[in-house]
Structure 1
Amino acid sequence: MEEIGQPVPESVIVENIEDALKFAQEIGYPLIVRPAYTLGGTGGGIANCDEELRDITNRGLKYSIIGQALIERSVAGWKEIEYEIVRDANNNCVSVCNMENIDPVGVHTGDSIVVAPSQTLSDFECQMMRSASLTIIRRLGIEGGCNIQYALDPKSSKYYVIEVNPRVSRSSALASKATGYPIAKVVTKIAIGYTLDEITNAVTGQTKACFEPSLDYVVVKFPRWPFDKFRFADRVLGTQMKATGEIMSLDRNLEGALLKAIRSLEIGLNHLYVSDIANLTTEAVREKLTAVDDERLFVIAEALRRGIEINEIHHITAIDNFFLEKLKNIVNMEKRLAANFNSEVLLAAKKLGFSDKAVAQFAGKTVYEVRDERKKSAIMPSYKMVDTCAAEFAAQTPYYYSTYAQEDEVEPTSKRKIVVLGSGPIRIGQGIEFDYCSVHSVWALREMGIETVIINNNPETVSTDFDTSDRLYFEPLTTEDVLNIIDKEKPEGVIVQFGGQTAINLAQPLARAGIKIFGTGVEDIDRAEDREKFEELLENLNIPRPKGTAVTSSQSAVEAAEKIGYPVVVRPSYVLGGRAMEIVYNQAELADYMTRAVEASPEHPVLVDHYTQGTEIEVDAISDGEEVFIPGIMEHVERAGVHSGDSIAVYPPQTLSKAVIDNIVDYTAKLARGLKIKGVINIQYVVAEEKVYVLEVNPRSSRTIPFLSKITNVPMVNIATRVAMGSSLKSLGYSGGLLETKPYTAVKVPVFSFAKMQQVDITLGPEMKSTGEVMGIDYQYSRALYKGIIGAGMNVPEKGTVLFTVADKDKPEAGDIARKFAQIGYEIIATSGTADYLRSLGLQVSTVPKLHEQQPQIIEMIKAGKINMVVNTITKGRDAASDGFKIRRATVEHSIVCLTSIDTAWAVLDVLDIIHQGKFLYVLALQDYVGGGETCV
Structure 2
Amino acid sequence: SIIETEDRKLSAERINEIGEKVAPSEAVYSVEEALNAARRIGYPVMARAAFSLGGLGSGFADNEDELEILAEQALAHSSQLIIDKSLKGWKEVEYEVVRDAFDNCITVCNMENLDPLGIHTGESIVVAPSQTLNNREYNMLRTTALKVIRHFGVVGECNIQYALNPYSEEYYIIEVNARLSRSSALASKATGYPLAYVAAKLSLGVPLPSIRNSVTGVTTACFEPSLDYCVVKIPRWDLAKFIRVSKNIGSSMNFEVVMDIYELEHCEGIILSMGGQLPNNIAMDLHRQQAKVLGTSPESIDSAENRFKFSRMLDRKGILQPRWKELTNHESAMAFCEEVGFPCLVRPSYVLSGAAMNVAYSNQDLLTYLNAASLVSKEHPVVISKFLTEAKEIDVDAVAADGEILCMAVSEHVENAGVHSGDATLVTPPQDLNTETLENIKRIARDLASLLDVTG
TM-score by length of structure 1 reads 0.26
Once the two structures are superposed, residues 226-275 of structure 1 have per-residue CA deviations (whole angstroms, 9 ceiling, x without a partner) of 6xx7xxxxxxxxxxxxx98xxxxxxxxxxxxxxxxxxxxxxxxxxxxxxx
- Pick one of 40, 44, 51 that aligns with 2:58: 44
Match of 1:171 in 2: 183
Match of 2:124 in 1: 112
Once the two structures are superposed, residues 708-741 of structure 1 have per-residue CA deviations (whole angstroms, 9 ceiling, x without a partner) of xxxxxxxxxxxxxxxxxxxxxxxxxxxxxxxxxx
SS in 1 for 2:234: strand
Q: Within 1, Cα distance between the matches of 2:246 and 2:257?
A: 23
CA offset at residue 163 of structure 1?
Answer: 0.5
Once the two structures are superposed, residues 745-771 of structure 1 have per-residue CA deviations (whole angstroms, 9 ceiling, x without a partner) of xxxxxxxxxxxxxxxxxxxxxxxxxxx
Listed as ranges, the gaps of 5+ residues in structure 2 are 1-14, 283-352, 354-456
Aligned partner letter, 1:127: N
Match of 2:134 in 1: 122
Match of 2:230 in 1: 218
CA contact (8 A) 2:25 2:41 kept: no
Change (3 A) 1:428 1:221: farther
Tell me if 1:83 matches 2:56: no
Q: Which structure 2 residues correspond to residues 395-794 of structure 1 after superposition, within 5 A?
A: 572-573=250-251, 581=253, 592-593=259-260, 595=262, 602=272, 603-604=274-275, 605-606=278-279
Q: Within 1, Cα distance between the matches of 2:270 and 2:141?
A: 45
CA offset at residue 205 of structure 1?
Answer: 2.0
CA contact (8 A) 1:7 1:159 kept: yes
Aligned length: 261
CA offset at residue 141 of structure 1?
Answer: 0.7
Q: Within 1, Cα distance between the matches of 2:217 and 2:132?
A: 33
Aligned partner letter, 1:52: E
Q: Within 1, Cα distance between the matches of 2:140 and 2:237?
A: 34
Once the two structures are superposed, residues 61-101 of structure 1 have per-residue CA deviations (whole angstroms, 9 ceiling, x without a partner) of 1122xx21111001111111000000000010110000011
Q: Within 1, Cα distance between the matches of 2:83 and 2:170?
A: 21
Once the two structures are superposed, residues 585-633 of structure 1 have per-residue CA deviations (whole angstroms, 9 ceiling, x without a partner) of xxxx579548559878754243989xxxxxxxxxxxxxxxxxxxxxxxx
Change (3 A) 1:180 1:428: farther
Change (3 A) 1:593 1:98: closer
Aligned partner letter, 1:54: E
**If you compute each CA radius of gyration, which structure gives the higher value, 1 or 2?**
2
Q: Within 2, Cα distance between the matches of 1:215 and 1:594?
A: 42
Aligned partner letter, 2:59: G
SS in 2 for 1:211: coil
Once the two structures are superposed, residues 396-448 of structure 1 have per-residue CA deviations (whole angstroms, 9 ceiling, x without a partner) of xxxxxxxxxxxxxxxxxxxxxxxxxxxxxxx9659xxxxxxxxxxxxxxxxxx
Match of 1:22 in 2: 36
CA contact (8 A) 1:572 1:601 kept: no
Q: Within 2, Cα distance between the matches of 1:109 and 1:596?
A: 31
CA offset at residue 171 of structure 1?
Answer: 0.2
Aligned partner letter, 2:71: T
Q: Within 2, Cα distance between the matches of 1:91 and 1:591?
A: 60
SS in 1 for 2:141: helix
Aligned partner letter, 1:606: P
Change (3 A) 1:4 1:429: same
Q: Within 2, Cα distance between the matches of 1:212 and 1:590?
A: 51
CA offset at residue 5 of structure 1?
Answer: 0.8
- Pick one of 128, 131, 147 that aligns with 1:135: 147
Aligned partner letter, 1:220: V
Listed as ranges, the gaps of 5+ residues in structure 1 are 230-242, 245-426, 431-500, 502-570, 610-670, 672-937
Match of 2:172 in 1: 160
Tell me if 1:68 matches 2:80: yes
Tell me if 1:3 matches 2:17: yes
Q: Within 1, Cα distance between the matches of 2:188 and 2:260?
A: 43
Q: Within 2, Cα distance between the matches of 1:8 and 1:96?
A: 23
Aligned partner letter, 1:180: G
Match of 2:162 in 1: 150
CA contact (8 A) 1:572 1:600 kept: no
Q: Within 1, Cα distance between the matches of 2:139 and 2:95?
A: 11
Once the two structures are superposed, residues 512-542 of structure 1 have per-residue CA deviations (whole angstroms, 9 ceiling, x without a partner) of xxxxxxxxxxxxxxxxxxxxxxxxxxxxxxx
Q: Within 2, Cα distance between the matches of 1:93 and 1:601?
A: 56
SS in 1 for 2:215: coil
Aligned partner letter, 2:62: N
Q: Within 1, Cα distance between the matches of 2:82 and 2:144?
A: 22
SS in 1 for 2:73: helix
Aligned partner letter, 2:38: A
Q: Within 2, Cα distance between the matches of 1:86 and 1:216?
A: 22
CA offset at residue 207 of structure 1?
Answer: 1.3
Q: Within 1, Cα distance between the matches of 2:212 and 2:136?
A: 30
- Give the alignment's Cα RMSD to 1 decimal: 2.9
CA offset at residue 38 of structure 1?
Answer: 1.3
Aligned partner letter, 1:70: I
Tell me if 1:34 matches 2:37: no
Match of 2:197 in 1: 185
TM-score by length of structure 2 reads 0.53
SS in 2 for 1:224: coil
Q: Within 2, Cα distance between the matches of 1:73 and 1:173?
A: 29
CA contact (8 A) 1:32 1:45 kept: yes
Once the two structures are superposed, residues 135-177 of structure 1 have per-residue CA deviations (whole angstroms, 9 ceiling, x without a partner) of 1111111100000000001111110000110100000000000
Change (3 A) 1:135 1:591: closer
Change (3 A) 1:130 1:591: closer
SS in 2 for 1:606: helix
Q: Within 2, Cα distance between the matches of 1:108 and 1:101?
A: 10
Match of 2:309 in 1: none
Aligned partner letter, 2:17: E
Change (3 A) 1:185 1:600: farther
Q: Within 2, Cα distance between the matches of 1:595 and 1:87?
A: 53
Aligned partner letter, 1:4: I
Q: Which structure 2 residues correspond to residues 384-403 of structure 1 after superposition, within 5 A?
A: none
Match of 2:405 in 1: none
SS in 2 for 1:80: strand
Match of 1:841 in 2: none
CA contact (8 A) 1:99 1:114 kept: yes
Aligned partner letter, 2:139: Q
CA offset at residue 204 of structure 1?
Answer: 2.0
CA offset at residue 26 of structure 1?
Answer: 1.2
Tell me if 1:206 matches 2:218: yes
Q: Within 1, Cα distance between the matches of 2:190 and 2:31?
A: 42
Once the two structures are superposed, residues 201-239 of structure 1 have per-residue CA deviations (whole angstroms, 9 ceiling, x without a partner) of 12222211111111111111111136xx7xxxxxxxxxx
Q: Within 1, Cα distance between the matches of 2:279 and 2:246?
A: 19
SS in 2 for 1:71: strand
Aligned partner letter, 1:57: A
Q: Which has the higher contact order (CA 8 A, sep 6+)?
A: 2
Aligned partner letter, 2:145: S
Give me the identity figure in percent.
51
